[in-house]
A and B are shown apart, each in its own frame.
Chain A
Amino acid sequence: MADLVSHPDEVKVVTRRFGKGATNIDRYLELDGYKAVQKALGMEADAIINEVKNSGLRGRGGAGFSTGMKWSFVPKQSAKPKYVLCNGDESEPGTCKDRLIFEHDPHAVIEGVTIGGLAVGARSGYIYIRGEYRYLSIIMQKAIRDAYAKGFLGRNIFGSGRDFDIYWHGGAGAYEVGEESALMESLEGKRGIPRIRPPFPAVVGLWGGPTVINNAETLASVPHIVLGGAEWYAKLGPPKNGGTRLFCLSGNIAKPGVYELPMGYSLKKMIYEVGGGIPNGRELKAVVPGGSSTPCLTADEIDINMDFDSVAKAGSMLGSGGVVVLDDAQCIVKFALRTMQFYQHESCGWCIPCREGTDWLKKTLMRFHSGGGVKKDIDNMQYLSENMLGRTFCPLGDAAAMPTIAFVKKFRKEFEDHLEGRPCPYEKEGAIEQLPVLAH
């Protein structure tokens, strides 16, 4: 079980029931549980969608698309059943927040999925949890059973005359399945190969029916919006970036942990005050602000606000909230290599630019790290990455290319320090030969 942390600057919305025993349904009810869904049952579908739209809630999985807008794209009339799909395939390196939501507040996810269902006119929803999170699947399955037993799910929920079912679904180890179309393929019992869009899932999704797909944190935020109101939620963050965000601080930081901070919180304060700064007398070298797919920021670039628009303006992405901090003892070439090994391992091979690009980049970075880099490869890596951008069905290709471009552009000197037989200046002598070789 993961440790909880806290800081006075936190604004507890999604985390307000953490550590309070809310996995127990009766305890959850004492903590205002299932009030939101009952309120939503008395609202028109469009009113729920408008409330979520006006709250400024944007997708917490990484893309940051307006949740209310996404819901509004689902057609009112559909010959095929509509679905809500909760994406709990959390696997973006640096991200460990949905894990805490499932562990401490599983009923909030159930409420969020149900409210989503009421808003788009779906009668069933699925909660997809990655296979590695077995203990969370057990917690979630129990929560679903308890909700059925109370009449909060199934036929005639809360005596409203409306029906809504929620089912658990489990993965078996695949990063790419966190991408929405691959997630649907996986749920349908197939390889997690992405689908071409359009049609978008809101129109043609699971088993051909209109499907709303939201991240677990997004859905867990919804009940709070319905209860507290759009205006209250929107005001927690800057314009168009409503609410709070679970930031997962990790890496070379004194107090790593998952902190719920208002959208737009200063990255500098997050690192030096909330996270307690860089330990061991080291200096900050770089930050990956939103999971491994997001371009890194240098120590000079951290004076920014952590909301979708501000981070985008700074040339990166808020992404999934995984803030990975690197101190000056870290080798960027090695970090870039490990990042690329990951994408090469996870690429499904469906799109050639991603399949070949990640492999070439990995091999080139390996050569650099072992001291065999050649100068022209520095530009080649950038060129190769730039040519992967936007040329794949799913964003995995972009996710591999974007951080690589930033590493090369912002830390060119470190790549130059690895040229022509020079061993990595950051490694202990003789350490290079021990580098693990990842299986594919």
Chain B
Amino acid sequence: MRFSDEFEARFAEMVPHYPTKRSALVPTLLYAQDEVGFLSDEVIQELAGRLDLTELEVRNVISYYSMLTTKPRGKFNVQVCTNISCLVRGGEEILHHCAKKLGVGHKGTTADGLFSLEEVECIGACSWAPAAQVNYDFHENLTTEKIDKVLDEYRKKATQ
């Protein structure tokens, strides 16, 4: 299993920061997921080996964290917040609009593998609600027109 040089540099830097190896697990899983797209059996096996854990221990941790996934998803993961601050400013409308536009529901992926949709809990954009994240990018003060533009931009990005 090969990761990028950037991942390896980060991993090598991070592990000595902790008195126990496994402490590096959670951020490492997220970095690995960013590269591979999801936490595949191969990734789990590799990281378990590196951090002196069993694969089961790694899976046990993965299942706790909502950002970690063992299933592939779209290149762009559209995460729409519908928690309280977004709810009262139309978060659900944004979610339904995305679902309709992309033709997928919660945790669904478009047939071309470009987009996934997810209804998420508070992302810390309450004062700029309604908000969504596409992968790690925040998109705030959303309207249905604005999210249309956002999704179109990503679609364009993918074809470039």
Contact = CB atoms under 8 A, between A and B. Distances in A.
Interface of A: 1-3, 81, 90-96, 98-99, 130-135, 167, 169-175, 186-192, 207, 248-252, 256-258, 288, 292, 322, 324, 326-327, 330, 334-335, 338-339, 342, 345-346, 348, 434, 436-439
A135 B85 CA distance: 22
Contacts of A95: 122, 124, 126
A186 B83 CA distance: 24
Contact of A256 (B22, B82, B129): B129
A171 B65 contact: yes
A292 B124 CA distance: 12
Contacts, number: 167
B128 interface: yes
Contacts of B61: 189-191
B66, B67, B84, B138, most chain A CB atoms within 10 A: B84
Contacts of A439: 106-107, 119
Nearest to A1: B138
Interface of B: 17-20, 22-27, 29-30, 51, 60-61, 63-68, 82-85, 87-89, 92, 95-96, 106-107, 119, 121-129, 133, 136-138, 140
B66 to A, nearest CB: 4
Ranked nearest first, the 5 interchain pairs of A and B with the lowest CB-CB distance are A173-B67, A189-B25, A173-B66, A189-B22, A172-B65
Nearest to A2: B128
Given A90-B124, A91-B122, A189-B61, A335 B84 contact: yes
15 contacts: A2-B138, A90-B124, A93-B85, A96-B126, A169-B17, A172-B27, A189-B61, A251-B85, A252-B89, A322-B85, A326-B88, A330-B88, A338-B87, A342-B83, A345-B121
Nearest to A172: B65
Nearest to A258: B127
B64 A96 contact: no
A256 B25 contact: no
B78 to A, nearest CB: 14
A130 B22 CA distance: 18
B123 A189 contact: no
Nearest to B106: A439
Given A132-B124, A437-B106, A348 B88 contact: no
B26 A92 contact: no
B84 A96 contact: no
Given A135-B137, A174-B64, A191-B64, 5 more contacts: A3-B128, A131-B26, A191-B63, A250-B89, A258-B127
A134 B122 CA distance: 15
A438 B106 CA distance: 8
Contact of B64 (A98, A326, A348, A438): A348
Nearest to A131: B67
B88 A135 contact: no
A170 B65 CA distance: 12
Contacts of A256: 126-129
Given A171-B65, A188-B23, A338-B82, A251 B30 contact: no
A292 B23 contact: no
Contacts of A91: 121-122, 124
Contacts of A338: 82-84, 87
A171 B26 CA distance: 6
Given A172-B30, A188-B23, A324-B84, A342 B121 contact: yes
